[in-house]
Chain A
Amino acid sequence: MSDLPRISRDQMAARVARDIAEGMVVNLGIGLPTLVTKFLPPDREFILHSENGVLGMGPPPPAGAEDWDLINAGKQPVTLLPGGAFFHHADSFAMMRGGHLDLCVLGAFQVSAAGDLANWHTGAPDAIPAVGGAMDLALGAKTTCVMMEHLTKAGESKIVARCTYPLTAAGCVRRIYTDLAVLDVTPEGVELVEAFNGITLAQLQAVTAVPLLTRDRP
């Protein structure tokens, strides 16, 4: 396991939140991306979409005020902001599949240098597969980003030349937020945008299974 100075999950979420721009319609996937809701920028107005049929999703209600008819994709109680709307499932997925969402942030097992995403199934013989809306979101949003730890628990790079887990979608990931760095998937390859805690390009390259490009590459 690398001993590089990783940032926390909350810090990762705060970094993702910084990139949510005024006016965006955003879907935050279940798991790690849900943490982003804790750090939403108060100075910008944007709309959160939840696949089960909400636009204008607000924060969780205070304890005791839960309404189990008002939940998010992770089946946890949420609230509705002024201007919010409810709609049925086919409309909700039409919003994704029809290209009406600006940004989605998904968790991942692996992302390839070509932006292929694997996040729904390990492919292990005894694993029970579950896909949910991952395949729809990954291809449907105008920009798909991934938020994940840079390394597996065994210390292997989750950014890979080719995904070894079953694919969610090919060539869909634009930006990767990890606990070590922010990286963009470009037509030339994976480009370092920002490394955290003074981590150098050489240090990051040593734990990343694909060649890293820099913005000022020749």
Chain B
Amino acid sequence: MIDKQVPDLEAALAGVADGATVMVGGFGGAGQPAALIDALIAQGARELTIVNNNAGNGTAGLAALLAAGRVKKIICSFPRQADSQVFDALYRAGRIELELVPQGNLAERIRAAGAGIGGFFTPTGYGTELAKGKETRFIDGRWQVLESPIHADVALIQAERGDRWGNLTYRKTARNFGPVMAMAAELTIAAVHEIVPLGDLDPEAIVTPGIFVQRLVKVPR
């Protein structure tokens, strides 16, 4: 029987190694896998590279992981926010490395990793600081920049409902990076608010097919 359910958060995060690249879903608070991040803090892996759109808000969730000193590098598009004080302090102190990526490149580089694409050309960023040193080519009348895929060891995503095969549905804008991150990681750990019997999810409405998910854990809303 295929059953990706794990009994609790400790089992969900078991085996995440020091130095791992960990994708974390969410855009601000929507779709942020808060319970999985807390469990990663408890699990103890260090020297992590984190991939997220932002670099933590307030003091909980991703900000707490940063504050615990467990992140050596963050790959994101929009670190600076009104409540990004934890990241700001680490960055100013030179205690965290930042790879700043235009948001569309971030999403597409993650998607490319999941789709087995070795790289792609895009006009985004051409002639800017964020494309410095990158290969460029003139294609279809515009200059384009070569971008590489972002692979991860682990993805932590928050979805709405799941079944034992790992099929997932999402809720509203909480979907954001979940589907592409699930495809790009060796080990995708999905937290859901409800686990339903196999066959109960409408096949027309499944957004992430279960083959992209390795572990499924239920967490309270």
Contact = CB atoms under 8 A, between A and B. Distances in A.
B27 to A, nearest CB: 5
Contacts of A169: 124, 126-128
Given A75-B28, A88-B180, A132 B103 contact: yes
Interface in A27-86: 50-54, 67-71, 75, 80, 86
Given A69-B172, A90-B110, A166-B129, A129 B100 contact: yes
Nearest to B178: A88
Bin chain A's interface residue count: 35 or more
Nearest to A138: B124
A133 B111 CA distance: 16
Contacts of B104: 93, 96-97, 133, 135-136, 140
Contact of B79 (A53, A71, A128, A167): A128
Given A93-B107, A132-B103, A69 B177 contact: no
Contacts of B207: 88
A97 B122 contact: yes
Contacts of A133: 77, 102-104
A211 to B, nearest CB: 24
Given A68-B29, A88-B207, A53 B173 contact: yes
A157 interface: no
Given A88-B180, A93-B108, A167-B127, A53 B175 contact: yes
Contact of B30 (A69, A93, A126): A69
Interface in B192-209: 207
B114 to A, nearest CB: 9
Nearest to A127: B80
A89 interface: yes
Interface in A81-140: 86-90, 92-94, 96-97, 121, 126, 128-136, 139-140
A71 B28 contact: yes
A130 B176 contact: no
Given A129-B100, A133-B77, A135-B102, A53 B127 contact: no
Contacts of A54: 173
Bin chain B's interface residue count: 35 or more
B91 A128 contact: yes
A130 B126 contact: no
B212 to A, nearest CB: 12
Contacts of B14: none
Given A70-B172, A131-B100, A90 B108 contact: yes
The interface centre, meaning the residue of A93, A128, A131, A132 with most chain B CB atoms within 10 A of its CB, is A131
Nearest to A132: B78
Contacts of A178: none
A70 B28 CA distance: 11
B170 to A, nearest CB: 8
Nearest to A87: B175
Given A130-B81, A132-B77, A89 B107 contact: yes
Contacts of A93: 103-104, 107-108
Given A89-B53, A93-B103, 10 more contacts: A68-B30, A86-B175, A90-B111, A92-B107, A97-B108, A130-B80, A131-B102, A135-B128, A136-B124, A170-B126
Interface of B: 27-31, 53, 77-81, 84, 87-88, 91-92, 100-105, 107-108, 110-111, 122-130, 170-180, 207
18 contacts: A52-B176, A54-B173, A68-B29, A68-B30, A70-B30, A71-B27, A86-B173, A86-B175, A87-B175, A88-B179, A90-B111, A93-B108, A94-B108, A128-B84, A129-B80, A131-B130, A136-B102, A140-B104
Interface of A: 50-54, 67-71, 75, 80, 86-90, 92-94, 96-97, 121, 126, 128-136, 139-140, 166-170
